[in-house]
Chains A and B, each alone.
Chain A
Amino acid sequence: GENVEQHPSTLSVQEGDSAVIKCTYSDSASNYFPWYKQELGKGPQLIIDIRSNVGEKKDQRIAVTLNKTAKHFSLHITETQPEDSAVYFCAASIQTGANNLFFGTGTRLTVIP
C-alpha cells in the first residue's frame, strides 16, 4: 500500500516568517494530495488540496506544490501567524475525499510571537 513520509516532525518559526513542510509518497497511482490542520482537541480540517494534473495551488498565505516525477509535495505557509500553530498532516489517495487516505506522521508547527 501507499507509504507517506513527512518532514520535519516539529517546526518552530518566528511570526511573519515562512514555514515549509515536505512529504513524499510511494504509490505512483496516487493523484489526490490534501493537507489537514489539526488543532488540539479537534479533528483534522482540510486547508488545501492538489490533484496530480496541477503542479501548484495557492490560497492566500498557503500554497502547495507537487512534483509527480519525484513523488513529493510540499506545503508553504507565508507570513505565519500565531494562529497557524497546530499539527499539519499531509495525505495521499487515489481518489478525492477520505477514501483510503494515507496520512503522514504530522508536523507540529509553532509560530513564536
Chain B
Amino acid sequence: EAGVAQSPRYKIIEKRQSVAFWCNPISGHATLYWYQQILGQGPKLLIQFQNNGVVDDSQLPKDRFSAERLKGVDSTLKIQPAKLEDSAVYLCASSLVFGRTEAFFGQGTRLTVV
C-alpha cells in the first residue's frame, strides 16, 4: 500500500515570497490533515478535511495560509506571504474514517524562509 506522498521534500524561499505544498493521501482515505512541526517541537494541527470539506481550520493563520482539497483527494497548502517564523516541516496525514481510525503521516516538506 502506497503511503502519503508529499512534495517537494525541501523548499527555500525568501520572506514575503509565496510557496505551495502538495499532498496525496493514501487511496480511499477520507480525512486529510496538515500539521506544522517547528524544529524541536511536536506537530501542531493546521487544518483538517473530511473529503473536500473543511472540518477544522481554527489554528490556521488565515491571513497568510490557505489550503484546499477540491476533489476530495489530494490537497495543497499555500503560504503567502511567508515569514521567517514559518520555517518548519509541513506534514500531511490521512486516515480512513474521521475520528475512528489511525492516521498515517507523510515524510513532510521542510520549508526554510530566509
Residues of A within 8 A of B (CB): 4, 6, 34, 36, 41-46, 49, 89, 91, 95-101, 103-106
Offer 12 A-B interface pairs, CB within 8 angstroms, sorted by A: A4-B42, A43-B107, A44-B91, A95-B99, A96-B99, A97-B31, A97-B100, A98-B31, A98-B35, A99-B56, A100-B48, A101-B103
Nearest-CB distance from A105 to chain B (Å)? 6
Contact A97-B107, Cβ < 8 Å, known A43-B91, A91-B42, A106-B41? no
A44: which B residues are within 8 A, CB to CB? 43, 91, 105
A91: which B residues are within 8 A, CB to CB? 42
Whether B44 sits at the interface, judged by CB under 8 Å, is yes
Which of A41, A43, A44 lies at the interface centre, i.e. has the most chain B CB atoms within 10 A of its CB?
A43
Contact between B98 and A89, CB atoms less than 8 A apart: no
Nearest-CB distance from B47 to chain A (Å)? 11
Q: Mark B87-114, 1 if CB is under 8 A from A, else 0.
A: 0000101010111111111111000000
- The secondary-structure label for the interface of chain A is loop
B106: which A residues are within 8 A, CB to CB? 43
Partner of B105, one of A45, A96, A99: A45
Whether B79 sits at the interface, judged by CB under 8 Å, is no
Whether B33 sits at the interface, judged by CB under 8 Å, is yes
Contact between A34 and B42, CB atoms less than 8 A apart: no
Partner of B42, one of A43, A89, A98: A89
Whether B45 sits at the interface, judged by CB under 8 Å, is yes
CA distance A97 to B101 in the complex (A): 5
A36: which B residues are within 8 A, CB to CB? 105
Partner of B98, one of A41, A45, A97: A97
